[in-house]
Amino acid sequence: MTSIYSRILATGSYLPRQVLTNADLEARLDTNDAWIRERTGISERHISAADETVSMMAEQAARSALAAGGLAPEDLDLIIVGTTTPDQIFPNCATMLQERLGIAGIGAFSLEAACSGFIYALSVADKFIRMGDARRVLVVGAEMMSRLVDWNDRTTCVLFGDGAGAVILEAASEPGIIGTLLHADGRHRELLEFPGGVGRDFRNLENVYLQMRGSEVFKVAVATLGQSVEECLSRFGHDKSEVDWLIPHQANVRIIQATARRLGMSMEQVVVTVDRHGNTSTASIPLALDAAVRDGRVQRGQLLLLEAFGGGFTWGSALIRF
C-alpha cells in the first residue's frame, strides 16, 4: 500500500489595516522606540478595528490561501483554527469560519495552544491526511492579542499585534510535512497567562489582562527552542546544514537570533516579521510563511524548519519540504 503524506498547497494571510507604531506608543506610555526596538526588534504592529473579529480575519486569510491555490471553499474537507482569542467561548471559531465560507457539513474545530497553536494545528491536520480521513485541510492561525493586553502596561502591550495566516494542506505521494513534534509543560502557568475564563470568575473580567514575567519566559524560550529544533532535525534525519529557511514564532528578535545561532544559520536564512507584526501568537508563523512565499524567498523544494514556544508552556517544531 502506498503511503499518504501531506504537503502545503497554498498560503494566505490577513493583517488589519490600522498600524500602531512605536512612536504612537511613545506618545501614550512611558516607553520609547529605542527600548522597544533594541529589546524586541519590533517597530510596528497591526491592530484590529473595533468591529473586527478573529473569525473575520480568519476568513480573509483563508480566502487569500484559497485564491493562491486556485481553489474554491467547496474543495476543502476539514477546517482547523488555532486561536487563543476566539470570537466566543462556543461555537468554536472554525465553525464560524466555515459559515463565513459557506461550506456547511465538513468537520470544523478550533484548538488552543497559545503561541504554538499553529504548529499544533498543522500537526493535527497532517495526521488527518496521513490517516486518509481528509484530503484538503484548511489550517488557520488567527489572533487578536490587542484585546487581551492592558494598554497601560508597557511591559506587555508594546509586544503584541493582531492578524491571521492560513495554509491549505493536501494529500501527496511524498512528504511535504516531513514531521512535527509537540511538547508542553503545564507547571509554569504563572509565567505567561490570561488568568480569566469559565473556571475563574469570568463574569468579572474587567481588570483581567495578559500577564507575563518576560525575562523568565525569555530564558526558558531560548533554551527550549534551541533543544527543540535540534530534536526535530535529528528525529527526522536531517542536518542543520540542509535547512533553507528557519520560520520561527515571532515573539522577540533576540530569541530568534539565539535559535539561528544554535543552528549555525545566518539571519539571511531566517524569516523575520516581528519588526512589522509584533507577536501575533498563533498567527505569527503562517503570517511569516506567507510573506516569504509571496515575496519569492521560499521556493518549492526547499527545506523549512518551523518552531514555536508560548504560554502553557507549549512548544513545537515542524520540518517541511515545501
Residue with the three cell numbers 516579521: 273
Least CB distance to ligand UT7 at residue 108 (A): 26
Name the residue number minimizing CB distance to ligand UT7.
214
Residue 37 binds ligand UT7, judged by CB under 6 A: no
The residue within the footprint of ligand UT7, chosen from 18, 19, 35, 71 (CB under 6 A), is 35
Residue 285 binds ligand UT7, judged by CB under 6 A: no
Closest CA to 286 of 122, 134, 157, 127: 122
Q: Is 188 one of the catalytic residues?
A: no
Residue 221 binds ligand UT7, judged by CB under 6 A: yes
Least CB distance to ligand UT7 at residue 255 (A): 6
Residue 274 binds ligand UT7, judged by CB under 6 A: no
**Stretch 4-23 residues interacting with ligand UT7 (CB under 6 A):** none
Residue 31 binds ligand UT7, judged by CB under 6 A: yes
**Stretch 230-269 residues interacting with ligand UT7 (CB under 6 A):** 251-252, 255
**Stretch 146-165 residues interacting with ligand UT7 (CB under 6 A):** 154-155, 158-159
Q: Which is nearer to ligand UT7, 154 or 240 (CB)?
A: 154
Cell of 99: 459559515
Cell of 127: 495526521
Least CB distance to ligand UT7 at residue 212 (A): 6
Q: Is 279 one of the catalytic residues?
A: yes
Residue 115 binds ligand UT7, judged by CB under 6 A: yes
The residue within the footprint of ligand UT7, chosen from 6, 13, 40, 95 (CB under 6 A), is 40
In angstroms, what CA-CA distances link 170 with 78, 127, 131, 293?
A: 11, 11, 12, 17
Please give the backbone phi and psi of residue 207, each rounded to the nearest 5 degrees, phi first: -110, 30
Residue with the three cell numbers 467547496: 74
Catalytic residue among 22, 157, 232, 249: 249
Catalytic residue among 115, 157, 252, 277: 115
String of contacts with ligand UT7 for each residue 170-209, x by CB under 6 A: ----------------------------------------
Least CB distance to ligand UT7 at residue 225 (A): 9
Count residues binding ligand UT7 (CB under 6 A). 21
126 touches 169 (CB < 8 A): yes
Least CB distance to ligand UT7 at residue 117 (A): 11
The residue within the footprint of ligand UT7, chosen from 91, 107, 179, 214 (CB under 6 A), is 214
Catalytic center residues: 115, 249, 279
Chain residues binding ligand UT7 by CB under 6 A are 31, 35-36, 39-40, 115, 154-155, 158-159, 214-215, 217-218, 221, 251-252, 255, 279, 309-310
